[in-house]
Structure 1
Amino acid sequence: MSLRLAFRAALLSGAALAAALPAHAQSRAQDEPTRLDEIVVTAPNYVTTVGESGTKTDAPLTEVPQSVSVISRDQIDLLGWTSLMQAVRYTSGITSENYGPDERYDWLTLRGFNPVQFIDGLQAPTGSVANIGTDLWGFEAVEILKGPSAALYGQSPPGGIVNLTSRRPQDRFGGELEVLGGNFRQFQLAGDVTGPIAARADGRLTALWRQRDTQLTGVESKRAYVAPALSLDLAPRTDLTLLGYWQDDEVTGDGGGFLPAYGVILPNPLGDVPTSTNLGEPDFNRFDREQGAIGYDLRHAFSDTLTLTQNLKFFTNEAYQTGPYGTGLLDADFDGVPDDYRTVTRSQFAFLEDVDSFAVDTRLNAKFATGALRHDLLVGLDSRSTDNRQASYFGAAPSIDLFEPVYGAEIVEGPLFTFLDQTQQQVGLYASNQIRFTPGDEGLVLSLSGRQDWVETDNHLTDVTIDDEAFTGRIGLNYVMPGGWAPYAAYATSFQPVAGATFEGELFQPSEGEQIEAGIKYDGRDLPAGIDLFATAAVYALTQTNVLTPDPVPGRPFFNVQTGEVEVKGLEIEAVARINERISLNAAYGYTDSEVTASNGADLGKQLPVTPRHKASLFADYTFQDGPLAGLGVGAGARYMGTAFGDGANAFEIPSVTLVDATIRYDRDDWRLAFTASNLFDKEYLSRCTALTQCFYGTRGLYAVSLSRRF
């Protein structure tokens, strides 16, 4: 609680694109070179070729033996994305918005699994959900590491992780103010200002306030976000950046979806269920969350070749939600057929979750040579301690009419029951070495990474302590060729602790993941000035073992064994380009073949939920630089999601859908007037059905007009 008070007080087609660009460059070379200083510069850092998440160093992405997608702030601003779920739409291998217009969390699926969220390289205080719903406005970049990443980050799912990099202070004065309005009564004020505030000190303050409704009747969302930052030049070789943020969310009236399948995905003789249907109580349902973090990034260079880096954060995240939700159509005689196809039974649910964590990562980076070999050696020790308390209440609630809901029923909320109170401590010792076999920037790069983790989980309700340990690694080989091409191959592993025990009382072992991946990257380094391009193509085969599955012994219906196994194989192609400050392209295609290969349940041989075999997307944007339209930008994108399944048994198929997004903006001097549209044609579609009682519509059309001023 004192920490929370302190927060308040302190505050595609990559190959086709690559083949087309040399011809364009040749024709340009015969003309007068483009004079970039005379055009309207709107996204100078649209394409990113360097990211720290893949190696915890500043190695180019072409030298990272793993698929990594970096979504820059310029991409986010130019295309008008306002949430993490929107930002990953044009990235391969990852899907989002799995539960429709949810104002609480960012629901993501990466290579078949829910990725864990990191902030500035440290795991966020995730509890019952793998992310914490932090606002995208506060971050400079989104990095998606695809595949096992435990060799650097410890326990994590085999599909990968998502790391958000906070906005940092700059040594030159600048900033932005924005006012935004849109449908569903959306109104937003956002600001960001940075610059020197004293000798050897730079500051930054980022803030946002937003209010909006959703497509569901009677739902309103409010959010406040503040993130102060301070960079100190402590010595010629020592830099310290203090980082903090505080976010408060309030969502009222949201029943969470939970629509019956009849009228959504199955026929209902009374008609289709409207996408605005809310089976909660607008005057009772609510979700309140307060979260924040405070910490620092420290960097000290002992020399040009030896550097010490430390990242540290205290996190806090407290959320409470309550209200009735739908539990399916009334079937009083239990014959499997709804009585009247309109009366929906409901239950009352309340849930409290309080997660506090402390994380610190200290690493030493040494660059040296042994004969003809050049080494980039990283040795680190990180530690994380997380306290997680969860309590809930389940009870009955009055039924409601599916097609003509009448609100105002009396809802009884009983006392909360604490069912989880645990502390988990993880300590990891890791080392990584990138070995270059040639003196220049080209040639072979061998990457070797290994990590030993010790995880202790203390259950304060049962006084049971579980000790887990695991060794994970990554070995990869990149060959950086002349011209920017870099084929690579890699093998990596991961682990995740699993709570619980078998019928005999034997504690579960961590689940394990392993992956083989091969691909090629292209960074366009030799293209003419004004053309930025980064493209990747990869194939992979991923396996997860020690997966929980029902105990096959009769008489043990509520127990599991660890004999399950999952396999995921896929192909991913992705390209991001920016040409002469005129054309922007985001192209991606992903093929994901997932299968439960060992199970005692109905999911045997089935596809993983919300993991479509095909996902394809293309966004193209053009900025006029000449004549009376100079400064006008127009963009449009289409994203296709193939058929998928909402449940593990694959009983509920999610139909394929193609959605269109668009943006129009006008830049003049330091002003921007923009219109953005998500799901431009307001298409109604199904997001997911997990059971006969739990269906969720996709997000309808969202339209917004914004006016911003940069300085």
Structure 2
Amino acid sequence: MADVRSELNFAAGRRVLLAGAAVLALTGAAGGAMAADAAGAAASDKTQLDELVVTARGYVPTTDVSATKSAIPLVETPQSVTVVTRDQINVLNIQNLQQAMRYSAGAVGENFGPDERFDWLTLRGFSPVEYIDGLQAPVGSVGSVGLDLWDAESVEILKGPSGVLYGQTPPGGIVNFTSRRPHADFAAEVQGQYGSFDHKQIAGTITGKLDASDTFEGSLTALWRDHDTQLNYAHSKRVMIAPALTWNIDAGTHFTFLSYYQHDDARGGDGGFLPEVGTLLPNPNGQIPVNFNPGEPGYNRFKRALYGIGYQFDHAFNDHISFVQNLKYSVQDEHFTSIYGNGLEADNRTLDRADFLFPEYIKSLAVDSRLQIKANTGAIEHTVLAGVDFREVWNHTQFYFGDAPSIDLYNPVYGKPIPATWFNSPNYINSDNTQTGIYAQDSLKWNHWRLTASIRNDWLRGDVNDSAFTYRVGLNYLFDIGLAPYVAYATSFLPTSGADFGGHAFKPSSGSQIEGGVKFEPHNLGRDTKVFITAAGYDLVQDNVLTSDPNHAFFSLQTGQVEVTGAEFEAVARVHERLTINASYSYTNAVVTRSNDVGATGKQVTNVPKFKASLLVDYTQQTGPLAGLGFGAGIRYLGTSFGDEFNTLRAPPETLGDLIAHYDYRKWRLAVNVSNIADKVYVARCTSTAACYYSSRREVFVSLDRKW
């Protein structure tokens, strides 16, 4: 494997960019040839469209609400935003939120290999927090909740500080999950899927109007999944259901009820916590098998119930003034019982193990209310937003620790008696925290100029009692051809629990970023050709980071700093409903710039690869005897990352390939998706010498869909 594990340098990065640009450039010629071919087979555009056997009109995003809380086109938004649409999820057969990051710039998923519980993500060097329908999910020890992607209308990745509209957030950005909504036009879909590790799944969704007067629209989305994993003796089940209802009170007033329920039951083990020797480094006894289970098949279990209920209310007073309110009550109730690896003994084959019990109950009530006013002052058009949001989070978590019998890595014998836990800390976390924020934003248009200015103040009560002020200002210039350079400055904050040696409570860490870039959404390409390209560079700094107190052991000071400088390129294209392109490149230099920890200053931030690149191309024949047949191929590169603050645990770079084949006939679709086609076995991360994680092996999924 060493021959493929050379670090991607800037020259290689430029080659990837040029390859993506070349493919995009070819779309003009390819599009012309396709159009000519279609013209010869059809007498009009209408006839040509009638010949199309499959469409994905929303594959390339154009507008996103989450970045500005207004329906402002992406090309006019002064922030890097990636939108993974429902059409992208369907065409690429994306299985979960982690996989949705594979062909996106600036974002990395699958940080700890395959995981049945959570979505382990990094975004511009930091772990993002997950939002559902614009409101923060009930997150606790992990920033995501693992809601199934089948219920997603889209996924929005907001890159960089987003505190001005969402309050306390990591400086790298957030991920928003927009759930499916009811539509008046009837549509339905049923999908059956079978794949690697005895993966079985049945899913469906249906939507339409419920009465002749178009007053009510409803939808129902559901999924059942049952599969093993690449780990021996591990098994997982999931059930998800999400009903929704829209009440069209009048032409300008709408009330949409949104809900979801998901139950997960993963038994047998979770993987990971393997020693460095035998995974990342050689072991005289051989490599530890990738399917080795360090847990106890009859003991390890992760059981969780996720549910949320809420609404979105929209009311237009007139053409200029409107009001929107989002509310959601949500719960994450999980119980985690795990035997895991805890270090390798001197014989290099006996794995010490420990026991960890982790029941966690989190509930959240969040509401966001905003008034939007559209008005003109002379030649300047204003879209003014004024809002207030409130969130209360209750967290009740217990931790239990204990010992577990050791096991032979190469000849495991399970089922030995497990002693009772020796350290119990019931009510270790029993908190009630609130955030109240008020914000205002003005989006101004004058000729080709677009100016966005936003301010916000938050008040925190609970474990941390503090307030914080954040702001953002961005400027775009929109050329007639759809080219829009922009520059923006934004801030964020994140609470920090605890106090220094003198008893002074820590203040929130702060994030600030300057970003400049260009977006390109070319016009006049035809009704069935869309392209969206973004290129950006940024400098992001997090201040007030905790670092050790050199004068008082076991205490910290807020004198640390992290700086992330980066460049990103991303292109999404859909040409004549035939050619699909996703291309991305990321350079993320995340460095600890100030620290009292000896040897940490100047080192890369853990679990952040400096380079990432990807290219996926898919083509579907739409006419002739092979109409409906399509193939796609993708290549993904992930650079070196480090698992410890001193950069001694180095996860090497990897290049992976994916394949897609699909056939559409009338309302049916048969698809085969293969990820990691070469079945490369490699270490995704090591966070200590006793905690290494294999990445996902090759997975093959066969799906059969029927639409109405």
Residue 391 of structure 2 aligns with which residue?
384
Match of 2:466 among 465, 468, 474: 468
Kept in 1, the 8 Å contact 2:657–2:678? The answer is yes
- Distance in structure 2 (CA, Å) of the matches to 1:377 and 1:41: 40
Cα deviations by residue, 1:616-675 (Å, 9 ceiling, x for unpaired) = 000000001222211011111000001111222211111100111111111101011111
Q: Aligned ranges for residues 40-79 of structure 1 at < 5 Å?
A: 40-79=53-92
Structure 2 residue 92 is the aligned partner of structure 1 residue 94: no
Kept in 2, the 8 Å contact 1:350–1:416? The answer is no
Residue 240 of structure 1 aligns with which residue?
255
- Distance in structure 1 (CA, Å) of the matches to 2:454 and 2:433: 25
Q: Aligned ranges for residues 531-542 of structure 1 at < 5 Å?
A: 531-542=529-540
Match of 1:619 among 616, 621, 627: 616
Residue 425 of structure 1 aligns with which residue?
434
- Distance in structure 2 (CA, Å) of the matches to 1:453 and 1:562: 21
Residue 296 of structure 2 aligns with which residue?
281
CA RMSD of aligned residues (A): 1.4
Displacement of 1:529 after TM fit? 3.0
Residue 191 of structure 1 aligns with which residue?
204
Match of 1:271 among 286, 291, 312: 286
- Distance in structure 1 (CA, Å) of the matches to 2:587 and 2:617: 22
Q: Give the SS at the match of 1:628.
A: coil
Residue 3 of structure 1 aligns with which residue?
none
Structure 2 residue 578 is the aligned partner of structure 1 residue 582: yes
Displacement of 1:525 after TM fit? 2.4
Give the residue type in structure 1 aligned to 2:609: P
Kept in 2, the 8 Å contact 1:484–1:526? The answer is no
Give the residue type in structure 2 aligned to 1:455: L
Q: Tell me, which stretches of 5 or more residues in structure 2 are unaligned? A: 1-16
Residue 664 of structure 2 aligns with which residue?
667
Residue 605 of structure 2 aligns with which residue?
608
Kept in 1, the 8 Å contact 2:182–2:244? The answer is yes
Displacement of 1:392 after TM fit? 0.8
Residue 159 of structure 2 aligns with which residue?
146
Structure 2 residue 352 is the aligned partner of structure 1 residue 345: yes
Which moved further from structure 2: 266-275 or 15-24? 15-24
- Distance in structure 2 (CA, Å) of the matches to 1:354 and 1:525: 50
- Distance in structure 2 (CA, Å) of the matches to 1:170 and 1:190: 19
Q: Give the SS at the match of 2:490.
A: strand
Which moved further from structure 2: 473-482 or 605-614? 605-614
Residue 634 of structure 2 aligns with which residue?
637
Displacement of 1:705 after TM fit? 0.8
Displacement of 1:30 after TM fit? 7.3
Displacement of 1:412 after TM fit? 2.9
Residue 363 of structure 1 aligns with which residue?
370
Cα deviations by residue, 1:71-91 (Å, 9 ceiling, x for unpaired) = 101010111111000111000
Displacement of 1:387 after TM fit? 0.3
Residue 7 of structure 2 aligns with which residue?
none
- Distance in structure 1 (CA, Å) of the matches to 2:52 and 2:24: 24
Kept in 2, the 8 Å contact 1:583–1:622? The answer is yes
Structure 2 residue 560 is the aligned partner of structure 1 residue 564: yes
Displacement of 1:417 after TM fit? 2.6
- Distance in structure 1 (CA, Å) of the matches to 2:94 and 2:343: 35
- Distance in structure 2 (CA, Å) of the matches to 1:309 and 1:120: 13
Kept in 2, the 8 Å contact 1:178–1:707? The answer is yes
Structure 2 residue 316 is the aligned partner of structure 1 residue 301: yes
Residue 445 of structure 1 aligns with which residue?
450
Kept in 1, the 8 Å contact 2:224–2:240? The answer is yes
Identity rate, percent? 50
Residue 411 to residue 54, structure 1, CA distance change in 2 (3 Å): same
Displacement of 1:323 after TM fit? 2.3
- Distance in structure 2 (CA, Å) of the matches to 1:176 and 1:24: 32
Give the residue type in structure 1 aligned to 2:50: D
Displacement of 1:23 after TM fit? 5.2
Structure 2 residue 319 is the aligned partner of structure 1 residue 317: no
Cα deviations by residue, 1:574-612 (Å, 9 ceiling, x for unpaired) = 000000011000000001111100001142211011211
Count of residue pairs brought into register by the alignment: 679
Give the residue type in structure 1 aligned to 2:134: G
Kept in 1, the 8 Å contact 2:57–2:528? The answer is no
Residue 26 to residue 137, structure 1, CA distance change in 2 (3 Å): closer
- Distance in structure 2 (CA, Å) of the matches to 1:19 and 1:118: 36
- Distance in structure 2 (CA, Å) of the matches to 1:428 and 1:328: 46
Q: Give the SS at the match of 1:412.
A: coil
Cα deviations by residue, 1:39-97 (Å, 9 ceiling, x for unpaired) = 11231211111111111011000111000010101010111111000111000001110
Residue 605 to residue 136, structure 1, CA distance change in 2 (3 Å): same
Kept in 1, the 8 Å contact 2:138–2:362? The answer is yes
Q: Give the SS at the match of 1:663.
A: strand
Cα deviations by residue, 1:502-540 (Å, 9 ceiling, x for unpaired) = 111110000000000000001122323321100100000
Q: Aligned ranges for residues 395-434 of structure 1 at < 5 Å?
A: 395-414=402-421, 417-434=426-443
Displacement of 1:166 after TM fit? 0.5
- Distance in structure 1 (CA, Å) of the matches to 2:619 and 2:75: 27
Displacement of 1:24 after TM fit? 5.3
- Distance in structure 2 (CA, Å) of the matches to 1:609 and 1:116: 18
Residue 399 to residue 255, structure 1, CA distance change in 2 (3 Å): farther
Residue 76 to residue 488, structure 1, CA distance change in 2 (3 Å): same
Residue 703 of structure 1 aligns with which residue?
700
Residue 369 to residue 18, structure 1, CA distance change in 2 (3 Å): farther
Q: TM-score, normalised by structure 2?
A: 0.94
Q: Give the SS at the match of 1:36.
A: helix
Q: Give the SS at the match of 1:292.
A: strand
Give the residue type in structure 1 aligned to 2:142: V
